[in-house]
């Protein structure tokens, strides 16, 4: 945590709106991407980001500075995403993965982009078949690039658990993806 | 280590989360064990595949939405706080209020007992002995009453201070979409064929001047081949920029100047691109403002330096966006028309001087020619007569003889 951030947090706690916005808006994209990985579509991810910021805004005074501010922020993001999934009892139609701004406007996409979308779809579908405990760690690791340490802090589990969940998660994912590829080829 | 243990470590190895010692053991094992190596490769493949998914980017206007939402929440919170003042949450002040309440209750009981005491007191207040300001202060104090008041004075001040700030900011970010109309860049490319190149160029230049446009580029080409100078064909290109409201008019005008060979009109709608950058700019400006606010409050040198760095970054971003908006504005406000002009000489129009040129000379020439013909004819006639003279003589003699012979024959009868 750099000095600027410390100062911004200090001021945010005093109710300084400017400081708060500067503080959190920098993290917006990152939070959106974490949420996107977890909930799997644009609209819900946006909801999660909003919800997260509102929570942070209301609870910034409870942040004690024991962990990194970002970790705290990401933990709230993960929890908010989980809540959303739980409340929605989520079943995700494949089409929704694309988001309306990518397929909805009827633009013809270049081949490369189509392949990218297909790949994304395949991976998100596979991730959905994993148990939440496993998919969360894998999303945070491979999609968002956090270290085991950070993941442990965000999810509030110890690093050994992170290690074994990633290991088992990837093994399961491998099987699922191989299965999917085989089906796809047929 | 056996294979099961190794497989547990694959992911940690990929993520670089193994200690050096473990990593070496792991590497040694997979070099030797083909199964584990294959497993390692396939897990690596999985990790890479997920890794390759690109980061999503948020819609640009999302930030603004979010700020609006926060404003709304803050408003609600503030209302909530005004109904229940901050001090209320504190148990000390709750007790204090309770005590004060009991106190007041007992006093009022006492007052009811001595009615005389009550009336004059309140009357004095009504008469204006207590000013408006004072009574306001009294009510203010009532909401932070009793024993906890001293403690709350500071907090109250802080609260009032921050609430003032809040109200200052609640006004919605001023979304100025006055420029909401579509942003379309019109451009056209025309090729025309004209009789006189120079005149056309002059006309176009005059027109551009009239509609307050400008010439972006102009070039002329005069070919050096061709036997005579007057046969050479000039051609050239001129690119003009005219106010976009005059676009259609200008096209008509130019087409009238010559024979249209082809035209190509296009409109590039940049509205959404433009809007995006506009929103980004707005967000950056909001951020800049906020940071300036913080700057005012900053007290430590370290803070100030940090803020200035951030401010610089934001200003650079702002400038970048302003420039591209300006460029777009220019493109939108001034349509581009590029005109290819070719001079074309029509062959029938190249008759020298027209039929009446040198009419005198032609008459003279014709007259002489006619005289010549007549003289020549007469000469030829004379020659012909001269040539015929011997034949005429013979014919005359023969005729004379024949007549004589006829005449004798008639006489005999």
Q: Do A2 and B7 make contact, defined as CB atoms within 8 angstroms?
A: no
pLDDT at residue B288 in the model:
87
The structure tokens listed for B159 are: 């609260």
Q: What is the pLDDT along chain A (186 residues), one digit of tens a residue?
A: 567 788 888 888 887 787 888 888 878 888 888 888 888 888 888 888 988 988 888 888 888 877 888 888 888 998 898 888 887 754 554 444 444 444 444 455 667 777 777 888 888 888 888 888 898 899 888 888 888 988 988 888 999 999 999 999 999 988 888 888 888 777
Burial class (CB in 10 A: 0-12, 13-18, 19+), A43: exposed
The structure tokens listed for B57 are: 């980017």
Q: Does residue B113 lie within any of the structural domains?
A: yes
CA distances B73 to A50, A55, A83, B204, Å, are 11, 11, 20, 60
pLDDT over 90, % of chain B: 10
pTM of the entire predicted model: 0.46
CA-based nearest residue in chain B for residue A6: B303
Chain B: closest CA distance from residue A166 (Å): 7
> How many domains does one find in chain B?
3
Structure confidence by residue, pLDDT tens digits, B188-215:
888 888 888 888 888 888 889 888 888 8
CA-based nearest residue in chain A for residue B62: A46
Q: Which of B338, B331, B193 lies closest to B251, judged by CA?
A: B338
pLDDT at residue B145 greater than cutoff 70: no
B55 interaction partners in chain A (CB closer than 8 Å)? 29, 33
CA distances B121 to A40, B116, B127, Å, are 71, 9, 10
- Report d(CA B203, CA B205) in Å as an integer: 5
Q: Do B57 and A29 make contact, defined as CB atoms within 8 angstroms?
A: yes
Is residue B338 domain-shared with residue B278, that is, in the same domain?
yes
A8 interaction partners in chain B (CB closer than 8 Å)? 294
Q: Do A173 and B66 make contact, defined as CB atoms within 8 angstroms?
A: no
CA distances B127 to A108, B119, B120, Å, are 81, 12, 10
Q: pLDDT band for position B18 (50/70/90)?
A: confident
3-state DSSP assignment of residue B16: coil
Strand locations in B249-319 (E):
259-269
* Contact (Cβ atoms closer than 8 angstroms) between residue A38 and residue A136: yes
pLDDT at residue B384 in the model:
92
Instruction: Classify residue A95 by its DSSP letter.
Output: G
Angle at B401 between CA B399 and CA B402, to 5 degrees: 65
CA-based nearest residue in chain B for residue A2: B306
Q: Do A22 and B310 make contact, defined as CB atoms within 8 angstroms?
A: yes
Is residue B20 domain-shared with residue B120, that is, in the same domain?
no
B166 interaction partners in chain A (CB closer than 8 Å)? 15, 17
Q: Which residues pair with B184 in a beta bridge?
A: B269
Is residue B135 domain-shared with residue B185, that is, in the same domain?
no
Is residue B142 domain-shared with residue B188, that is, in the same domain?
no
B74 interaction partners in chain A (CB closer than 8 Å)? 17, 57
Q: Which of residues 150-179 of A touch B (CB under 8 A)?
A: 163-164, 166-167, 170-171, 173-174, 177-178
Is residue B229 domain-shared with residue B331, that is, in the same domain?
yes
pLDDT at residue A118 in the model:
81
Q: Which of B284, B68, B56 lies closest to A32, judged by CA?
A: B56
pLDDT at residue B91 in the model:
60
Pick from B346, B380, B405: which residue ends a domain?
A: B346
Instruction: Classify residue B412 by its DSSP letter.
Output: H
- Report d(CA B25, CA B13) in Å as an integer: 11
The structure tokens listed for A85 are: 């999934």
Average pLDDT, chain B: 75
The structure tokens listed for B123 are: 């009357």
Is residue B217 domain-shared with residue B295, that is, in the same domain?
yes
Cβ-Cβ contacts under 8 Å between A and B: the total is 139
Q: Do A163 and B11 make contact, defined as CB atoms within 8 angstroms?
A: yes
Q: pLDDT band for position B398 (50/70/90)?
A: very high
Report the C-alpha dihedral over residues A32, A38, A41, A47, rounded to 10 degrees: -50
Pick from B346, B376, B408: which residue ends a domain?
A: B346
Is residue B277 domain-shared with residue B338, that is, in the same domain?
yes
pLDDT at residue B74 greater than cutoff 60: yes
Which residues lie closer than 8 Å to B110 by C-beta, 6 or more apart?
A: none
* Contact (Cβ atoms closer than 8 angstroms) between residue B88 and residue B80: no
- Report d(CA A54, CA A49) in Å as an integer: 9
* Contact (Cβ atoms closer than 8 angstroms) between residue B370 and residue B268: no
- Residue B35 lies in domain: 3-51
Residue in A17, A32, A127 closest to B56 by CB:
A32
Q: Does residue B329 lie within any of the structural domains?
A: yes
Q: pLDDT band for position B380 (50/70/90)?
A: very high
Which runs of consecutive H residues, i.e. helices, occur in A89-158? 111-129, 132-138, 148-155
Structure confidence by residue, pLDDT tens digits, A122-155:
888 888 888 888 988 998 888 888 889 889 888 8
pLDDT at residue B379 greater than cutoff 90: yes
Is residue B185 domain-shared with residue B164, that is, in the same domain?
no
Q: Which of residues 115-144 of A touch B (CB under 8 A)?
A: 116, 119-120, 123, 127, 138, 141-143
B168-193 core/surface letters (b: 16 or more CB in 10 A; e: else): ebeeeeeeeeeeeeebbbbbbbbbbb
Q: Which of B26, B51, B66, B172 to mutate to test the interface with A (most CBs of A within 10 A)?
A: B66
Other CB atoms closer than 10 Å to residue B291's CB: what's the count?
A: 23
Q: Does residue B387 lie within any of the structural domains?
A: no
Q: Does domain A1-91 match CATH 1.10.1740.10?
A: yes
Matching CATH number, A108-186, of 3.40.1400.10, 3.40.50.12280, 1.10.10.10, 1.20.1250.20 = 1.10.10.10
Instruction: Please report which helix (H) or strand (E) contains residue B350, including its range.
Output: none
Q: Does residue B380 lie within any of the structural domains?
A: no
- Going by DSSP bridges, is the β-strand pair B334-343/B184-194 parallel, antiparallel, or unpaired? parallel
CA distances A71 to A49, A140, B105, B172, B315, Å, are 15, 12, 53, 31, 29
A170 interaction partners in chain B (CB closer than 8 Å)? 10-11, 43, 46-47
- Report d(CA B305, CA B309) in Å as an integer: 6
What residue ranges do the domains of chain A occupy? 1-91, 108-186
CA distances A105 to A47, A109, A150, Å, are 22, 11, 38
Q: Do B290 and A21 make contact, defined as CB atoms within 8 angstroms?
A: yes
Which runs of consecutive H residues, i.e. helices, occur in B185-270? 197-210, 247-256
3-state DSSP assignment of residue B219: strand
Is residue B27 domain-shared with residue B91, that is, in the same domain?
no
């Amino acid at each position: 945590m750099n000095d600027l951030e410390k100062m911004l947090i200090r001021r945010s706690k005093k109710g300084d709106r400017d400081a708060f916005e500067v503080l959190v808006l920098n993290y917006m994209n990152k939070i959106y991407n974490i949420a996107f990985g977890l909930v799997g579509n644009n609209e819900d991810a946006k909801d999660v980001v909003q919800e997260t910021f509102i929570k942070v805004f209301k609870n910034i005074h409870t942040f004690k500075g024991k962990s990194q501010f970002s970790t705290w922020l990401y933990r709230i993001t993960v929890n908010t995403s989980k809540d959303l999934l739980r409340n929605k009892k989520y079943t995700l139609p494949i089409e929704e993965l694309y988001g309306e701004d990518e397929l909805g406007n009827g633009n013809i996409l270049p081949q490369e982009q189509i392949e990218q979308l297909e790949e994304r779809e395949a991976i998100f579908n596979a991730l959905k078949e994993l148990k939440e405990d496993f998919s969360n760690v894998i999303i945070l690791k491979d999609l968002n690039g956090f270290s085991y340490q950070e993941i442990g802090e965000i999810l509030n589990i110890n690093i050994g658990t992170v290690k074994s969940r990633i290991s088992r998660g990837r093994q399961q994912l491998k099987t699922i993806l191989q299965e999917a590829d085989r089906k796809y080829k047929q | 280590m056996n294979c099961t243990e190794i497989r547990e470590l694959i992911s940690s190895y990929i993520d670089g989360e193994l200690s050096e010692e473990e990593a070496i053991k792991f590497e040694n094992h997979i070099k030797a064990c083909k199964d584990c190596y294959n497993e390692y490769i396939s897990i690596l493949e999985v990790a890479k595949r997920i890794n390759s998914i690109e980061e999503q980017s948020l819609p640009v206007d999302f930030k603004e939405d979010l700020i609006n939402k926060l404003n709304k929440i803050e408003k609600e919170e503030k209302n909530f706080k005004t109904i229940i003042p901050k001090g209320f949450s504190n148990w000390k002040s709750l007790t204090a209020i309770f005590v004060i309440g009991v106190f007041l209750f007992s006093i009022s009981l006492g007052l009811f007992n001595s009615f005389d005491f009550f009336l004059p007191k309140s009357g004095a207040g009504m008469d204006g002995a207590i000013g408006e300001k004072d009574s306001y202060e009294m009510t203010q104090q009532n909401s932070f009453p009793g024993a906890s008041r001293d403690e709350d004075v500071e907090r109250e001040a802080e609260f009032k201070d921050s609430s003032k700030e809040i109200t200052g900011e609640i006004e919605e970010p001023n979304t100025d979409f006055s420029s909401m109309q579509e942003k379309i860049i019109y451009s056209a490319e025309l090729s025309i064929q004209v009789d006189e190149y120079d005149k056309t160029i002059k006309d176009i230049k005059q027109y551009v001047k009239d509609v307050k446009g400008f010439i972006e580029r102009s070039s002329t080409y005069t070919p050096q081949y061709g036997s005579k100078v007057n046969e050479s064909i000039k051609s050239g290109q001129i690119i003009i920029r005219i106010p976009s409201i005059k676009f259609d008019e200008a096209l008509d005008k130019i087409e009238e100047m010559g024979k249209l060979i082809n035209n190509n009109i296009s409109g590039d709608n940049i509205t959404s691109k433009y809007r995006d950058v506009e929103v980004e700019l707005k967000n950056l400006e909001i951020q800049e403002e906020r940071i300036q606010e913080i700057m005012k409050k900053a007290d430590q040198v370290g803070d100030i330096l940090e803020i200035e760095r951030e401010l610089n970054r934001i200003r650079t971003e702002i400038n970048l966006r302003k420039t591209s908006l300006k460029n777009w504005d220019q493109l939108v406000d001034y349509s581009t028309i590029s005109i290819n002009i070719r001079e074309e000489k029509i062959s029938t129009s190249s008759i020298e001087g027209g039929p009446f040129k040198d009419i005198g000379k032609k008459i003279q020439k014709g007259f002489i020619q006619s005289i010549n013909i007549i003289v020549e004819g007469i000469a030829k006639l004379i020659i012909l007569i001269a040539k015929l003279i011997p034949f005429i003589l013979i014919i005359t003699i023969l005729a004379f003889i024949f007549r004589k012979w006829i005449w004798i024959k008639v006489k005999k009868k």
